[in-house]
Structure 1
Amino acid sequence: MQLLILNGPNLNLLGQRETSIYGNQDFNSFFNELKSQFPTLQLEYFQSNVEGEIINKLQEVGFSYDGIILNAGAYTHTSVAIGDCIKAITSPVIEVHISNTFSRETFRHQSYISPNAKGVIIGFGLQSYTLALQSFL
């Protein structure tokens, strides 16, 4: 099973930014743990701070991969284009958020991704990604 984990803006700063919300672990070390935990899966990781690069990656893999785990960061709440892209591709997408977006600022309660996602996992820290992987098994 081939799966992509796709992270959006500022998630390259995990372990450094707002550790009270996002924790102390950087994503690369967490991704290595996921690969060890799920050795039978073909896991790929991509991160970009650029909306167009996220869309390009979704289009690149969105017709051939078995699934995509997407944390679009702040683009979740602003990008109609990413929402439209998810609607256009055939690979199922699980929307993931590390924090509970509903316990944060009101603008974070809206998602342009959720209506076209297979499911949404919110608020379990980095374990949100583990839960998303398990949902594909």
Structure 2
Amino acid sequence: MSESLHLVCPHCQAINRVPAERLSHAPNCGQCHQPLFTGHPVELDESTLERHIAHTDIPLLVDFWAPWCGPCKMMAPQFAQAASLLEPGLRLGKVDTEAHPAPGNRYGIRSIPTLVLFQNGREVARQAGAMGAQEIVRWVRSRVS
């Protein structure tokens, strides 16, 4: 019997069970029928961030950023490119700390951009400062078990 993974839909937030070997076959959400992976980071707020952390069995990389932050703006296309390189083995999300300050406070974000890697419902690594797409990919791959 194959292992099933839980994935939160980036569109409707439904929790889906997907056989691990089907991750690379472009699975769709069982509820809204949208793709579970889009090749782009998912915009998250306080409740959707917590839902993804608690109910997604693949690692989650979150970019804590703000619209007024120059380095954040410079890194945004790099983070999006990293999403296309790392999915479906990893979910990438973004939290706008200006619009949603509570998650930044909860996770002790002191500078932006800050990348936080979650696995099995807990933080496993963090990195402050802007990075290029390949740097992000290397950093994540060196920390995911």
TM (normalized to structure 1)?
0.39
Which structure features the higher share of strand residues?
2
Q: Which has the larger radius of gyration?
A: 2
Normalized against structure 2, the TM-score is what? 0.38
